[in-house]
A and B are shown apart, each in its own frame.
Chain A
């Protein structure tokens, strides 16, 4: 998953069942910011890239507010875990597990993601 960011022609891919769906050029992902992608079934995935080049993919929908906006949140690390804070009411979600860090009863879907 870790790749040299200079590698330019790599594509970000999200795993859907058996297939890897290509999303965009890796260069379109700004470290520390997310983007949203539309899935074939109409669902949405939020993709992030951290400073070390690691990629993450979670459901784009904020389960608290209902809007599909998680890709627009601010990212960071909390006790070594990467997270995104929703731009609506600021709840944080672990980017690797989808666990909400502010409400243990809430967890959102995560996706496998790679650059190839």
Chain B
């Protein structure tokens, strides 16, 4: 074999047909084995885009873009010299001549052919199934089409109440449609859950406003004169009016190409392969993923077994030993916000097995464990609360160290067993998507010096697919680090060994209201009695300010010791500019301003010669004020009714708005009023990082709420709340936290969310980063702030109420305090002399800083910019 894959005749060629999730994993497995260096690798990809995360398809509707979903790193493709033909499917295979013909007409000779063509959605042969308004749910293109069609419609129905059907129904609901689910079986998710689980699921799903029709089939799609869907006829004789239909009645292996070239396929479809994933008919052809009928006689519709098959095929082609004997069908899903998990022998098919069941259909909870005669945990079903899934699944096949009942009882009922992942054996599978054991994860920490979840993800692939194992992953890493004696210094800085969150708890619990007191009592040994540093001072200053009314500190950040803690900008209640001058940003709640207000701002800017600019935050920034001009400018602003805009603080910035219902023909709520209400409620709230918000009057989202820390979008019935959005350098689309909330519900939920963030985030950690970092992520936050799983919501609300009640405008307080005003001078020994270094030159009819720039090099900032 030659080392360069390109040229020589002798280079063996592997042709992969189908670039889905499994195909991509196969390529990675080839690369890992060095096979891409010794082989020419050709990939025929039918879809208009390379492999993407089909499992996470539905997250498109909660803001993920097709790019976010991509699983293909083009650099990977390039580095490994893989020839990827996007949008060019294979149309024929000639096994005799070992040639594949693509639709483009191009012909590829192969030494090894790998089929990874996946499956296609099954559409029952009902009349008018192809009418306008009928869809399937499999590809990004399907979703784009559904989204487009849904724009002008009000009702949607999904045929099929399985896993995908529920996801599709959730998506339709998210698009604002009244949604129905029609399921032929007597319960939802018939494959994964039993009757009890189905009942719990049904209850919760109906509570969300979806209508479920079980035990009925679809007989016909009803269409109007133009051939568009208007409803469906059901097997019980009834009719259901609907504008669109999404078929989600199962999938079938895409084995046509294989059939056409004479490969053996199963009775019910699927390309028959052996334990090495080689087709039984032709040793040069392999089939992997959903198109394959595995040696155990099953076609797997989940990604994890597909990945294992990909690894097996790659190993076999590289002449390594590997086999795929079958796989576990465990799944954990979050469907419409409901946890549903099933693992092992979920339906209790083993002989003599016993069930342990806990069920509370009022709360939508159902948990069943299947236990063997000898106490072995065989499998189970969890609906409503799948918290224990990771541990339970890993214990499947062994006798758990505690009684099974204690594993399913809810917290509070008896002593809930806290089975940490450290109790697991090393061969327990932690990540079933990628088949990663506890031993491998421990090895990543001990041998490859990984210390964080992202590092371990990269090193082991664990947690990179469905994400359901990430929580356990985090616990394992910490446990392993601690066990191996690695001192994980989570301290805030050189002065404090505690995290920001721990310090917050100390300040709140002990009502410590000065920095010095905290440093002297809780600082690191060498730091007590000292001066602290530039990291902890503002961070503690912020904690004290957030909790001021509750812990008995002054709510005014320039009072006494607090003044010395503030970042330089907070100290002058303005943002420093490159030449030492300052900017002035009055608050313009919701971006709404009167002509009089505009005139005042204009007059002030003119009188003081300031540069003015409309900011990206829907307000006006005036630049070029000298420090001694700040009080004079603010005296006039305060007089005209303006307040500090906190452009300098780690606190609420702006709540942007769109004009909404009042003016806009599409608006469904008064978004301006809500934006003003929110801005006034949270103004001045000190937090770990700046907070931004926006309110849009309808789904068109003109205010860009989904890029905000908390964003609100009006719906016909109220408001949807999105959290954790971010613009800036690492943009993140916000996640949906609550739907169709009333005004009061919305504000209560935001109160809780913000206070929980302030309590648990690190310094300078935006909500987006925080949501990604904290164990359990969004699910955990939802549990805490929606379900009140920690029982702290009342406290969070009280803390916020105290903030709201105690808010005072910093600038009006400052201009009325002569002692504070004395600080606003350029020189303490010459208060009337302006700083001569601050100079300006004209540009485009305004001013700009004039500064002989002395560049000596830059120290990269660790996100400590002021705004």
Instruction: Please determine whether chains A and B interact with each other in the same assembly.
Output: yes
Given the known interface contacts A33-B571, A38-B827, the answer about A76 and B534 at a Cβ–Cβ threshold of 8 Å is: yes
Q: Using Cβ atoms and an 8 Å threshold, which residues of chain A touch B838?
A: 67
Main secondary structure of the interface of B (DSSP, over half): loop
The digit string for A73-116, where 1 denotes a CB below 8 A from any CB of B, is 11111101010010111111000000000110110000000000
Is the CB–CB distance between B537 and A76 below 8 Å?
yes
The digit string for B17-29, where 1 denotes a CB below 8 A from any CB of A, is 0000000000000
A58 proximal to B (CB < 8 A): no
Is the CB–CB distance between B827 and A37 below 8 Å?
yes
Is the CB–CB distance between A23 and B829 below 8 Å?
yes
Is the CB–CB distance between B578 and A77 below 8 Å?
no
Given the known interface contacts A33-B563, A74-B534, A77-B533, the answer about A67 and B568 at a Cβ–Cβ threshold of 8 Å is: no
Of the residues A38, A77, A102, contact of B829 by C-beta under 8 Å: A38
Q: Using Cβ atoms and an 8 Å threshold, which residues of chain A touch B568?
A: 69, 72-74, 87
Q: Using Cβ atoms and an 8 Å threshold, which residues of chain A touch B866?
A: 87
Besides A32-B531, A68-B835, A90-B861, 18 more A-B contacts (Cβ < 8 Å) are A23-B829, A24-B828, A24-B829, A28-B822, A30-B563, A38-B830, A44-B827, A51-B516, A63-B854, A64-B857, A67-B838, A68-B580, A72-B568, A76-B495, A77-B533, A87-B576, A89-B858, A90-B864
Q: Using Cβ atoms and an 8 Å threshold, which residues of chain A touch B569?
A: 87
Q: Using Cβ atoms and an 8 Å threshold, which residues of chain B touch A47?
A: 828
A84 closest partner in B (C-beta): B534
Is the CB–CB distance between B837 and A67 below 8 Å?
yes
Q: Using Cβ atoms and an 8 Å threshold, which residues of chain A touch B529?
A: 51
A55 proximal to B (CB < 8 A): no
The digit string for A22-55, where 1 denotes a CB below 8 A from any CB of B, is 1110001011110111100010100100110000
Interface centre among B535, B568, B835, B851 (most CB of A within 10 A): B568
Given the known interface contacts A65-B578, A87-B569, the answer about A36 and B827 at a Cβ–Cβ threshold of 8 Å is: yes
Q: Using Cβ atoms and an 8 Å threshold, which residues of chain A touch B526?
A: 80
Q: Using Cβ atoms and an 8 Å threshold, which residues of chain A touch B572?
A: 72
Tell me, in angstroms, the Cα distance from A88 to B516 when the chains sit together: 26
Separation in Å of the A58 CB from the closest CB of chain B? 15
What are 29 A-B contacts with C-beta separation under 8 Å? A23-B828, A28-B822, A32-B532, A32-B537, A33-B564, A35-B828, A36-B826, A37-B827, A38-B827, A38-B829, A38-B830, A44-B835, A63-B856, A64-B858, A65-B853, A66-B579, A67-B580, A69-B568, A73-B568, A77-B527, A77-B532, A87-B576, A87-B866, A89-B859, A89-B861, A90-B861, A92-B534, A103-B859, A105-B856
B567 proximal to A (CB < 8 A): yes
Scan residues 784-830 of chain B and give those whose CB is less than 8 A from a CB of chain A: 822, 826-830
Of the residues A24, A78, A102, contact of B533 by C-beta under 8 Å: A78
Of the residues A31, A38, A89, A106, contact of B564 by C-beta under 8 Å: A31
Is the CB–CB distance between B854 and A64 below 8 Å?
yes
Is the CB–CB distance between A76 and B532 below 8 Å?
yes
Separation in Å of the A30 CB from the closest CB of chain B? 6
B494 proximal to A (CB < 8 A): yes
Given the known interface contacts A33-B571, A77-B530, the answer about A88 and B576 at a Cβ–Cβ threshold of 8 Å is: yes
Q: Using Cβ atoms and an 8 Å threshold, which residues of chain B touch A69?
A: 568, 576, 580
Tell me, in angstroms, the Cα distance from A50 to B529 when the chains sit together: 11
Is the CB–CB distance between B531 and A51 below 8 Å?
yes
Tell me, in angstroms, the Cα distance from A38 to B835 when the chains sit together: 9
B152 proximal to A (CB < 8 A): no
The digit string for B842-867, where 1 denotes a CB below 8 A from any CB of A, is 00000000011111111101001010
Interface centre among B495, B526, B563, B859 (most CB of A within 10 A): B859
Scan residues 556-572 of chain B and give those whose CB is less than 8 A from a CB of chain A: 561, 563-565, 567-569, 571-572
B516 closest partner in A (C-beta): A51
Of the residues A30, A38, A42, A50, contact of B531 by C-beta under 8 Å: A50
Q: Which residues of A approach B to under 8 Å, CB–CB? A: 22-24, 28, 30-33, 35-38, 42, 44, 47, 50-51, 61, 63-69, 72-78, 80, 82, 85, 87-92, 102-103, 105-106
Tell me, in angstroms, the Cα distance from A67 to B829 when the chains sit together: 19
Tell me, in angstroms, the Cα distance from A61 to B866 when the chains sit together: 19
B662 proximal to A (CB < 8 A): no
Separation in Å of the B443 CB from the closest CB of chain A? 36
The digit string for B353-372, where 1 denotes a CB below 8 A from any CB of A, is 00000000000000000000
What are the 6 tightest A-B residue pairs by CB atom distance, in nearest-first order? A76-B533, A32-B564, A87-B568, A67-B580, A74-B534, A35-B828
B855 closest partner in A (C-beta): A64
Is the CB–CB distance between A91 and B532 below 8 Å?
no
Q: Using Cβ atoms and an 8 Å threshold, which residues of chain A touch B828?
A: 23-24, 28, 35-37, 47
B237 proximal to A (CB < 8 A): no
Separation in Å of the A52 CB from the closest CB of chain B? 8
Separation in Å of the A84 CB from the closest CB of chain B? 8
Q: Using Cβ atoms and an 8 Å threshold, which residues of chain B touch A44?
A: 827, 835, 837
Of the residues B537, B576, B836, contact of A74 by C-beta under 8 Å: B537
Q: Using Cβ atoms and an 8 Å threshold, which residues of chain B touch A105?
A: 856
Tell me, in angstroms, the Cα distance from A16 to B828 when the chains sit together: 17
Q: Using Cβ atoms and an 8 Å threshold, which residues of chain A touch B516?
A: 51
Q: Using Cβ atoms and an 8 Å threshold, which residues of chain B touch A65?
A: 578, 853-854
Separation in Å of the B519 CB from the closest CB of chain A? 9
Tell me, in angstroms, the Cα distance from A65 to B561 when the chains sit together: 29
Q: Using Cβ atoms and an 8 Å threshold, which residues of chain A touch B837?
A: 44, 61, 66-68
Given the known interface contacts A51-B516, A78-B494, the answer about A42 and B564 at a Cβ–Cβ threshold of 8 Å is: no
Tell me, in angstroms, the Cα distance from A22 to B828 when the chains sit together: 11
B235 proximal to A (CB < 8 A): no
A74 closest partner in B (C-beta): B534
Separation in Å of the A15 CB from the closest CB of chain B? 15
Tell me, in angstroms, the Cα distance from A30 to B558 when the chains sit together: 11
B538 proximal to A (CB < 8 A): yes
Separation in Å of the A11 CB from the closest CB of chain B? 10
Is the CB–CB distance between B861 and A32 below 8 Å?
no
A87 closest partner in B (C-beta): B568
Q: Using Cβ atoms and an 8 Å threshold, which residues of chain A touch B864?
A: 90
Is the CB–CB distance between B531 and A76 below 8 Å?
yes
Separation in Å of the A109 CB from the closest CB of chain B? 15
Given the known interface contacts A67-B851, A74-B567, the answer about A106 and B531 at a Cβ–Cβ threshold of 8 Å is: no
B4 proximal to A (CB < 8 A): no
The digit string for B523-548, where 1 denotes a CB below 8 A from any CB of A, is 00011011111110110000000000
Is the CB–CB distance between A30 and B854 below 8 Å?
no
B541 closest partner in A (C-beta): A74
Given the known interface contacts A32-B564, A66-B851, the answer about A90 and B826 at a Cβ–Cβ threshold of 8 Å is: no
Scan residues 4-22 of chain B and give those whose CB is less than 8 A from a CB of chain A: none
Tell me, in angstroms, the Cα distance from A79 to B537 when the chains sit together: 16
Given the known interface contacts A67-B851, A68-B580, the answer about A102 and B859 at a Cβ–Cβ threshold of 8 Å is: yes
Is the CB–CB distance between A85 and B534 below 8 Å?
yes
A85 closest partner in B (C-beta): B534
Q: Using Cβ atoms and an 8 Å threshold, which residues of chain A touch B494?
A: 78
B418 proximal to A (CB < 8 A): no
B65 proximal to A (CB < 8 A): no
Of the residues A63, A80, A90, contact of B859 by C-beta under 8 Å: A90
Tell me, in angstroms, the Cα distance from A48 to B25 when the chains sit together: 61
Q: Using Cβ atoms and an 8 Å threshold, which residues of chain B touch A90?
A: 534, 859, 861, 864
